[in-house]
Structure 1
Amino acid sequence: MNTTLRDVRPPGWTENDVPEAMVLFLHGFGSNELDLASLVPALGLKQPWASLRAPLDLGNGGAAWFQITTPGAPDAEPVEQASEAIWAWIDANVDPATRIVPIGFSQGGLMASQLLRTRPERVVAPVVLGGFVLGAPQPGDGVLLEQRPALFWGRGAEDRVIAPVAIARSSEFFPQHTSLNEQVYPGLGHGINAVELGDVRDFLALEVGAHESATA
């Protein structure tokens, strides 16, 4: 595992700025750091952003946060190692006063939930797209039970990639530990559509002011 993560950032990125929040994109299995960065225009982000490449090289330009063993029930250790790698990147590249808005798809959605569950004080408005949660307890779960921060969970009604056991686990965990905005999209498989992007845009606008209005 490469624990020094590669990233892409927008022009004008500077580590001297200390924004209140920054967006961190976390791609899915077999994709790469260029994938979710393409969503920036649709989301109308005001905040600075970065998109990370997962630590496991799969070849042909693809990467993963962890290997798939039992679908929907990953081993905790590699997921937690990947979580630590993401936090190492954040600690090295983002001011400690800046909160993280993780937006992840599939495996990246799991990693977005991991950031919330490991350092909840540092994370705001996580977005889990076509993803799920790890079954093992995490250090911040007790804090989440008390504070129940906002979280967006969107998924396709026709998604056949994420195992039902993972959806069931997440359907139990998220409402107990977050103020959940759950959206299920008819006809959508394991992907992201324009309606979902609009809902994410509105969620971020409400929670972190991350939406530029059409008249701005």
Structure 2
Amino acid sequence: MEKPLEYLVRKPKVSVENPPLLLLLHGVGSNEEDLFSLTNYLPESLLIVSVRGPLTLGKKSFGWYEVLFTTGQPKINLEQERESQKLLLQFLDYLKLNYNFDESNVWIGGFSQGAIMSYSIGLLHPEKVKGIIALSGRLLEENKAQVTVSEKVLSKKVFISHGTNDRVLSVDYARSVKGYLESIGVHPHYQEYEEGHSINREMLKDLIQWLEVQLGNQS
């Protein structure tokens, strides 16, 4: 099977036969090296794969779909977003052929557009992942309409963090996802920070603690 997407990998730092897998998805205009810089801090038992978006926007600049602001409101290219979902599912199959990991213990997370894609995969293909990490993201209304509330959706572990001073994606988006998830019976770990559109040390510390608890609960 051909490699569907470019990526960087950090193997577990401890000996684990079937490690949990964490997929990291960068924001628009960035690349796989961005979130890969966080891997030194994340739990040692994880197999971590940082994935590059399929759309080339410039030198070392990639995305998962295009966003147009011609009307003053962000209008996304839904076809490209759907295609990126497909590629990520193919990529998971590719990883299964090339790495050992626990297929029932897959986590997906990202920043900004990467968080948006993480919601798409986690909620529209809930059988594929155990948990979702959304850093400064939102759930697309077009995808919310497609969610089927099932046991697999209701069992999702979800971590949401967002800056109250975010001028790119307002914190209202995060509050809206929290409200929606709670309305269907999913109770995310939710935290706001005095921060803009970025990941600060406090967010990272809280994410690490949350992940350690989640992974520890499974032993």
Deviates more, 1:188-197 or 1:122-131: 122-131
- Alpha carbons 2:27, 2:110 under 8 Å: kept: yes
| 1:85 matched to 2:84 | no
- Give TM-score scaled by structure 1 length: 0.83
Q: After superposition, give the CA deviation of every residue in 1:91-135 in whole Å (9 maximum; x if it has no partner).
A: 111269513211200000011111111221221221100011111
Q: CA deviation at 1:174?
A: 2.8
SS of the equivalent of 1:142 reads coil
Aligned pairs (5 A) from 1:11-160: 19=18, 21-70=20-69, 74-94=76-96, 98=103, 99-137=105-143, 140-143=147-150, 147-160=154-167
Q: Number of matched residues?
A: 204
Distance 1:90 1:145 in 2: 18
RMSD over aligned Cα, in angstroms?
2.7
SS of the equivalent of 2:123 reads helix
- Alpha carbons 2:165, 2:171 under 8 Å: kept: no
- More relative contact order, 1 or 2 (CA 8 Å, 6+ apart): 1
- Alpha carbons 1:148, 1:179 under 8 Å: kept: no
One-letter amino acid of the counterpart of residue 118, structure 1: L
| 1:7 matched to 2:7 | yes
CA distance 1:73–1:153, change in 2 (3 Å): farther
Deviates more, 1:89-98 or 1:58-67: 89-98
SS of the equivalent of 1:152 reads strand
Distance 1:169 1:75 in 2: 22
Find runs of 4+ consecutive structure 1 residues off by over 6 angstroms.
none
SS of the equivalent of 2:127 reads helix
